[in-house]
Amino acid sequence: MINFRTDMAIERNDIYRKQNNIENQIDGIITEEEQKEDINISRVKILNEQGEKALAKPKGDYVTLDVKNIKNIDEEGIQKIAEVLGDELRKIIKKHITDTEDILVVGLGNLYVTPDALGPKVVPNIEVTRHILQYIPSAMPEDTRPVSAISPGVLGVTGIETMEILKGIVDNIKPKMLIVIDALATRSIERISSSIQIADTGIVPGAGVGNTRKEISIRTLGIPVIALGIPTVVDLASITNDCIDLFIESLQQKAMSNDYLNKLREKDNYEEIKEALIPKDYNMIVTPKEIDKLIENMSKIVAKGINISL
């Protein structure tokens, strides 16, 4: 099986096609692209088990929005992207529940670790209505959807699995859908805080490896889970792999490679290089220096987009 080193369906689709020399669509997968207001929208639909196997992701819809230059964006720009995001989100929500059914927004991550702070920064900007509908219903239009929002923290801080916290809350307040904001792994530096993947398949870490312990999805919670995933960092290990791959590729193009190198490239990893470069105690990440500002702007876009869709 391919080690994709990315959670993004669109990247997996490209890698799979390249590795298997597929020129057209992969069997069991439909993709399409659209351009809206400088935003590139890619749609990957995994139709059946064959598609599931190819991309090692569950059946469902994966929409990716690629936006440019979030760093220097102004409020008008934020508004534009939020509207496109809101549209896409609304379409996916409608496939699963009605306009007045209860939604709980969940911001995963750790507020005190900058590249992991996106989820917790979105939550305070969600326009929650559930409590108003409960205590002073007359203050809101009749068909207002009950919306609530929570930031459950991370295991290292709470000592509790996120799934255990969510299970408790979902059982108790009984929403009809979860929208979960989460960080994604990507292989492309350019996607950091610039891509948003919307998937209606929940969050299935380690999917395909058989480890479903922390899965947050309809299977574990009994309600549909929309995942809003945004890449905020790239693993240094992933970068060093790509770096050496690119290096060998450039040698091959110049006919300066050799048999050993050509074979090397087929293997996936270069453990000794990584060990020499990367200290073991740390979780090394690659990120733009401007990550604080990127997270700030992206959290505004996501909060607005969700508010528009609801």
List the interface residues with a second copy, window 275-304 (CB under 8 A).
276-279, 281-293
Q: Is 151 in the site for a second copy (CB under 8 A)?
A: yes
Query: Would you call 294 helix, strand, or coil by DSSP?
Result: helix
- DSSP calls for 90-128: HHHHHTTS-TTS-EEEEE-S-TTSGGG-HHHHHGGGS--
Q: How far is the CB of 227 from a second copy (least distance, A)?
A: 20
Query: Which residue number, 37 or 190, has a Cβ lying nearer to a second copy?
Result: 190
Q: How far is the CB of 27 from a second copy (least distance, A)?
A: 31
Among 22, 97, 218, 244, binds a second copy (CB under 8 A): 244
How many residues bind a second copy (CB under 8 A)? The answer is 79
What character string, x for contact with a second copy (CB under 8 A) and - otherwise, covers 212-241?
Answer: ---------------------x--x--xx-
Q: Is 147 in the site for a second copy (CB under 8 A)?
A: yes
Count other Cβ atoms within 10 Å, centred on residue 187. 21
Residues 161-190 that bind a second copy (CB under 8 A): 161, 164-165, 167-173, 189-190
List C-alpha distances in Å: 306 to 54, 88, 177, 303. 31, 10, 13, 5
Strand ranges across the sheet with 39-46? 29-36, 39-46, 60-66, 195-199, 225-235, 177-185, 103-107, 147-150
To which H or E segment does residue 132 belong? helix 130-135
**Binding piece for a second copy, criterion CB under 8 A, among 10-18, 24-32, 68-76, 136-144:** 68-76
The C-alpha atoms of residue 75 and residue 243 are separated, in whole angstroms, by 36
Residues 251-270 that bind a second copy (CB under 8 A): 251, 254, 256, 258, 260-261, 270
**Binding piece for a second copy, criterion CB under 8 A, among 21-29, 48-56, 83-91, 156-164:** 156-164
Q: Is 141 in the site for a second copy (CB under 8 A)?
A: no
Backbone phi and psi for residue 226, each to the nearest 5 degrees, phi listed first: -90, 130
Tell me 297's DSSP state.
H
Q: How far is the CB of 196 from a second copy (least distance, A)?
A: 18
The C-alpha atoms of residue 124 and residue 301 are separated, in whole angstroms, by 13
Among 32, 33, 243, 268, binds a second copy (CB under 8 A): 243
Q: Is 119 in the site for a second copy (CB under 8 A)?
A: no
Q: How far is the CB of 234 from a second copy (least distance, A)?
A: 9
Both structure tokens of 236:
């240094």
Query: Which residue number, 91 or 131, has a Cβ lying nearer to a second copy?
Result: 131
Q: How far is the CB of 161 from a second copy (least distance, A)?
A: 7
Query: Which residue number, 9 or 126, has a Cβ lying nearer to a second copy?
Result: 126
To which H or E segment does residue 273 belong? helix 271-277
To which H or E segment does residue 235 belong? strand 225-235
Q: Which residues of 267-305 are buried (b: 16+ CB within 10 A; e: fewer)?
A: eeebeeebeeeeeeeeebbebbeebeebbbbbbbbbbbb
Q: Is 47 in the site for a second copy (CB under 8 A)?
A: no
Count other Cβ atoms within 10 Å, centred on residue 147. 22
**Binding piece for a second copy, criterion CB under 8 A, among 5-13, 24-32, 36-44, 273-281:** 273-281
Among 6, 13, 129, 197, binds a second copy (CB under 8 A): 129
Q: Is 56 in the site for a second copy (CB under 8 A)?
A: no
Q: Which of 39, 40, 43, 121 is nearest to 73 (CA)?
A: 39
Q: Is 66 in the site for a second copy (CB under 8 A)?
A: no
